Amino acid sequence: MNLFFRSYILIMRIFKFLVALAPALALALAAGYLSSLCLAKGVPDLVYPVYAAPALFFNISQLAALGLSVFAVSLSFYRRKIRKCLPFWLLVYAVNVLIYVSFFVWGLYVLTFALLLAESVLALLITLYYVKTTGELWLTTLPVAMWYLYLFLVVFGVIILN
C-alpha cells in the first residue's frame, strides 16, 4: 500500500509539472512564431561588429535561451511561491517579439537598442528575484539574461558601425 501511495504522489507531481509546462511552451511557441515571421522579411544588409556570432551559433544560443526560459516559466507556474514573476515573463516574451519587429521589419535600430536594454534589465531583475526566493532556479535565468545583454552589445555595435 505504501508503494502504491508513493507512486501515486510521484505521478501527480509529474502531472502537475506537465500542466505547468503547457502554458510555458505555448507562450514560447507563440513568441517564437511571431519572431520568425519577422525573420521572413530577411536580415538587413548591415555591417555587424566582429564579436557578432555566426548564424549557426546565434540560432543555437537563441534556442538554448528560449528553452531555459521555458523551464523557468514552467517552474514559476509549478511553484506557488514564485508565481509573482509570471507577468514579468510575459513582458519579456512580448518585448522579445517587439525587438524582432523593430529590428527586422521597421529598421528602427535605436528602438531595438532601448528595448534590449529594458529586456536585459527585466531578465536580471527576474534573476535577482529567483536568487532571493529559490536556491537553484536563478541558474536557468542567468544565461537568459546574459544572452539579452549580448544581443544588446551586438545591436550597439550595429548602431555604431552603420
Count of domains forming the chain: 1
Mention every residue, 6+ apart, whose C-beta is less than 8 A from residue 21: 70, 74, 77
* Amino acid letter, 6: R
Domain containing 136 equals 2-161
Grid coordinates given for 7: 507512486
Of 139, 149, 153, 26, the closest CA to residue 72 belongs to 139
Give per-residue pLDDT as tens, 111-159: 999 999 999 999 999 999 999 988 788 888 889 999 999 988 988 988 8
**27 neighbors 93 (Cβ within 8 angstroms):** yes
Residue 3 has pLDDT above 80, yes or no: no
Residue 1 has pLDDT above 70, yes or no: no
Give per-residue pLDDT as tens, 49-63: 888 878 778 888 888
